Structure formats: C-alpha cells, structure tokens
Amino acid sequence: MEEAENWFEGSDVSGVLERVKRGTLRGASLCLLDKARSLSGLTLEEAATILLSPDPEPLFEVAREVKEKVYGKRLVLFAPLYLSNRCANNCLYCGFRRDNLGLARKTLTLDEVARETEALIKQGHKRLLLVAGEGQGGDLDYLEKAISTVYATKPEHGEIRRVNVNVAPLPLDGFRRLKEAKIGTYQLFQETYHHLTYERMHPSGPKSDYDWRIAGMDRAMAAGIEDVGIGALFGLYDYRYEVLALLAHAKHLEEAFGAGPHTISVPRFKPAHGACFSEAPYSVKDDDLMRIVAVLRLAVPYTGIILSTREPAPLREKLFELGVSQISAGSRTDVGGYVFEKKGERQFEIDDRRSLERVICDLCEKDGLPSFCTACYRRGRTGEKFMALARPGEIGDLCLPNAILTLEEYLLDYASEETKGKGERVISRYLREIGSPVLLEETQTRLARLTDGERDLYF
C-alpha cells in the first residue's frame, strides 16, 4: 500500500491553485463551462479555474444543466443510523471525541439496532448508513452482526435493501469481511487533505495517522468493495484546496481501479457539544457551498453528491438543483435517537429537521422525484460496470423507472393522503419521460403489480 499512501504527494493541489490564481480567469472559465456541458469532466486545472472565477452565476447555470442531463429531478433518500458514540479518537471538531468527558457513552445492543431499524423502516426508508466511532464500539465482529441484524429486520411491510457503512478504515482482510457482509457503499471522509491541518485536528488516537486514512479507499477497493464514497469536512481548511484534493482522489481511484468514487459528500462544519471550537476555522458561506457542489458536479458528472441534514431546507433545495443527488432525511445524529426517549448528545447539530414524509411531500410539490432505488447494487451494476453505463448516459434509462417504482411503493405503504396525491401526480408526469415504449409498458405493468400487493420490483 506504499503507493496508495503516497499518491496525494504527486497531485500538486497547492501548485495548481497558485498557478491558476496567477492566470487570467474570466474568459478561460467561460470556455471551460462550455466544455463541461459535454459531460466530459474537468482536469484539476480546469476545475480550479472555474472555482476561482469571480462570477459564479454562469457556473451555477451550467451546473443546473448538467444535473438535469445526468440525474433529472431524481433524488435518492437515506438515513444514518448511529451504532455507537464510543471513540478512541480526539478529533477537535467532533462531539464524540474521546476527551469529551461529559458525554454519556452508548453502544446499541443488537436488539436496539433492530428496534432503530424497524423505526426507520416504518418511516419508509430502504437505505441506511451505519455510523460508529473508532476503537470502541466499532469493532468488526460487532459491525458484521449489526449489518446482519439490519438486513434481517422486516416488520409487517418494508425492509432495508442497502446498508452503507461509515466506519474507520480497516486493513485489507477487514474490508474483505465487509464485502462478504454485503454492504453497499463504504464511506470514509479524509476530513481535510491538508496534512498540517489534519495533524492539528487529530492530535491523538488511531485517526491521527494521515497516511493510513488516505490509503483506506485503496484497501477497500483492493478488497473488492467497488462502491466507495469520499468526502471532506468543509471549514477545517480552505475549501478550494479541499475541492481539488477530492478531485485528485477521484482521479487516483479511477486510474488505480477503473472506477472513481461512487459518491462524494460535502458536509460543512457544524457546532457540536463538547467539541473544541464552535466556529469553523475557515469560513464556508452558503455561496461557497453552492460553488463546491456546482464544480464537483461538472468535474465528475456521474458521481453521486451527498448532502446531509446539516444544512437548512431552503439551502438544500438550491443545492439539489446544482448537483446534489442523494440526501439524508428525517435524520438523528445521536445513538438511539429514533426510538429511545432518553436521547444522547448529537455528533453535530442538524438544521433540516423535517420528517421523511415532509421532505418527500415538499419534493413532489416542486416536481422532484424522490427515489429509494437500490437496483444497481443488487443487480451487480457497481464499480466499472456502473461507470460503463453512466458515462454514455444509459444508466438514466433504468434510474427513472426504478425511481418511479420505489416512490409508488412508498406512497402505497406509508404516505398520508396529501403526500399520496402529490406523489401520484409526480409519477404521472415522469412516466411520460420514459423514452422506450417497451420500458414504459413494463413500468406500468409493475406499477399495477405493486397496487395488487407485490413489492420490491425493479429493473
């Protein structure tokens, strides 16, 4: 894994930023935006040029076009499930850090995992992200049992069909075990790619090893996990540096494994009880976050962009248009937060507190298409196979009917009359966008089968 640890040294992110800062920006950025419309992506230099352009409006306009071409109005929904707030790390920005002595520590029992899962299923969720601290409460034996428990939990109707995981980086054998546990995406954030800042923010614990963490995705993909998700915590260092570092990481993974990251997450620093500071060391304003999402959408057009409930609903709606394709909804960031009356401290504060149903209703009202689709993962369309369909734009031919089918299933099983009415109007609209008469007929047939009581139908 020596090459995996050293790849970032050769990416020259700082050098790219400095060279672009000295160049002429406006004319070049407008030309590059025309290139981005072709869905061919951007180099680091091109992304930096657009990122540093003084006028963001042309960027936002093209990002909206590209989002529409690749994803349309589809938005995939999921929820995090926190397994444990026990952690051996001392990350200065995190409420779960080891030295937060005022935090009541908790690791869910497997029975509690099942109860939390059941609560999320009864909301209508089909996709979960399991989250745990490192070194305490997040050991691999427990994690494997928790994953199995989630998949096995099936109340009266509904089930979790894709379990994604956000836990500390593992050795190669550990990642092989995660693969065998049938996880969907393995998610790991570098937090900050800037080495000195990383050292300051992670003074002790296993996470203080920068090289071990930055090589984590190489080990995961080498172990056979084809869908991985990267991210940075924006606000720890200059966001422009972090954006280019994420793109350098995506390029490295594509060159090494034939497929870049399945997702990129864009969390922004939020206060947490027991963290060492209450404001971001590097301010990231709302317009900055919009630039971040827009540039990522143009630079890696087929990669999913994930947005959490850290951000308020009005800003989330703007970011949906600019490139976000997956969101959490109805989230709790404390251990046991979905079921148990005694709530623990949150890992971070959240701003969008709407229920899953309210999010779906609001999306439908704005002609969005909520989706719980897990078809690609279950059909084996992952890694290089997914990219082979995504790059020419063919994956959308399957995503649209699958989104329609999962929305219909939600409406039948969980929705209020208000949401059902808005959702059915959305389904009628998007059925008209299915280009193939054969696929349209089959989608309509499957919708009828759902109405008759069948479930889990997908292409």
The domain in which residue 109 lies consists of 68-353
Q: What is the largest CA-CA distance in the chain?
A: 64
Q: Same domain, yes or no, for 237 and 155?
A: yes
284 is a domain residue: yes
Q: Same domain, yes or no, for 314 and 176?
A: yes
293 is a domain residue: yes
Q: Same domain, yes or no, for 321 and 389?
A: no
Q: Same domain, yes or no, for 289 and 424?
A: no
- pLDDT, one tens digit for every residue, the chain (459 residues): 555 667 888 789 999 999 998 875 556 788 899 999 999 999 999 999 999 998 999 999 999 999 999 999 999 999 999 999 999 999 999 999 999 998 999 999 999 999 999 999 999 999 999 999 997 545 899 999 999 999 999 998 899 999 999 999 999 999 999 999 999 999 999 999 999 999 999 999 999 999 999 999 999 999 999 999 999 999 999 999 999 999 999 999 999 999 999 999 999 999 888 899 989 999 999 999 999 999 999 999 999 999 999 999 999 999 999 999 999 999 999 999 999 855 567 777 789 999 999 999 999 999 999 999 999 989 989 888 888 887 777 787 899 999 999 999 999 999 999 999 999 999 999 999 999 999 999 999 999 999 999 999 999
Total of domains in the chain: 2
Domain boundary among the residues 353, 374, 398 is at: 353
> 160: domain CATH number?
3.20.20.70
Q: Same domain, yes or no, for 133 and 200?
A: yes
pTM: 0.95
Q: Same domain, yes or no, for 333 and 419?
A: no
8 Å CB contact between 246 and 264? yes
What type of residue is 343?
Answer: K
The token duo for 459 is 């292409």
Q: Same domain, yes or no, for 261 and 387?
A: no
Q: Same domain, yes or no, for 343 and 391?
A: no
Q: Same domain, yes or no, for 155 and 241?
A: yes
Q: Same domain, yes or no, for 222 and 149?
A: yes
- Give, as one character, the DSSP assignment of residue 207: G
Alpha carbon separation from 130 to 174, 387, 424 (Å, rounded): 16, 25, 31
Q: How far apart are CA 370 and CA 376, in angstroms?
A: 17
421 is a domain residue: yes
Alpha carbon separation from 301 to 36, 66, 325 (Å, rounded): 9, 7, 11
Q: Same domain, yes or no, for 420 and 332?
A: no
